[in-house]
Amino acid sequence: MKVLVTCPPMLGMIDEFRSTFANAGVELFAAEVVQTMPEEKLEELLPNFDGWIIGDDPATARVLRAGASGKLKAIVKWGVGIDNVDFNAARSLGLSACNTPNVFGREVADLAMNYVSGLARHTFYIDREIRERCAWPKPAGISLAGKIVALVGYGDIGKNTASRLVAAEMGLNVYDPALTVVPNERINHLQWPNGLEEADFLVFTCPLLPATYHMFDDSILPKLKRGVRVVNVGRGQVIKESALIKALEEHIVHSVALDVFESEPLPVDSLLREYPYNIFGSHNASNTRDAVFRVSTQAIELLFDYLETGK
């Protein structure tokens, strides 16, 4: 049997898993991928493989249909986000399919907290000025204690982010329709977009769903507190970037920290680059060696089980 791996974090450690594939008698094909593999290339490759460990690639009905027309029997989405995988199409084609849920809450929350602190104290800006300009800047930041965070999403990542924010003595307004019990006296459960005028930080940890697509758009700009700082470690399409740029231009939003974008990698001509206090990531929030090894092992086990049992 042959397995295709297209997940960049797993590919970065792929040598550590080669023996696992070899011992199982499975041929591993480690694709060369920066972020995602295009549909056309996947349509060409997948019919030759029995299994596929997916990153953020477009696992569309078209792609899965091409795979199922050949050898493809099972797919595993590496990680939590599933917006790029058509699981309904997988089921209709008879493919065994799953993701690896609830695996990166702590790692992504660590980065979200780092971004909140970085925006508050301009640490990334100061570092760049010292390195690139030999400057010695001393911009005045803001304290975290007593500030209000609008936290969008209270799943595994959101809960872990909340615990870190509460430890910093921040107050939380949480937006998640699935939340039924408020676990902490510093947490208020609100319906979007109520209470946004209170928020000093707006932090997105939610998945991409029809209800979360462009949650941040032009309509919420009048509701925002002037000088709010925005963090997104969820999915890029949760934020309409043209509205975010407008908010930066009009000084409604002070600065942003984005690990994800509507278009990835971030285009060279993106106007987001023009704001020196902004912080950018490379859709890399979950990527620690510990987490990648743990989740890759889980993904391999799930895929091998599918291929062995046919279920």
CB 100 within 8 A of CB 78: yes
Determine the Cα–Cα distance for residues 49 and 44; give it in Å rounded to an integer.
Answer: 11
Whether residue 264 lies in the annotated active site = yes
Whether residue 283 lies in the annotated active site = yes
Whether residue 189 lies in the annotated active site = no
Determine the Cα–Cα distance for residues 254 and 189; give it in Å rounded to an integer.
Answer: 25
Determine the Cα–Cα distance for residues 148 and 200; give it in Å rounded to an integer.
Answer: 5
| Residue 57 to residues 11, 18, 208, 265, Cα–Cα distance (Å) | 14, 22, 15, 13
Instruction: Give the sign of the dihedral formed by CA 8, CA 12, CA 17, CA 19.
Output: positive
Per annotation, catalytic residue among 235, 241, 254, 262:
235
Per annotation, catalytic residue among 16, 214, 264, 294:
264
Per annotation, catalytic residue among 65, 106, 229, 283:
283
CB 26 within 8 A of CB 2: yes
| Residue 10 to residues 2, 34, 85, 200, 261, Cα–Cα distance (Å) | 17, 12, 18, 36, 21
- Which residues are marked as active site? 235, 264, 283
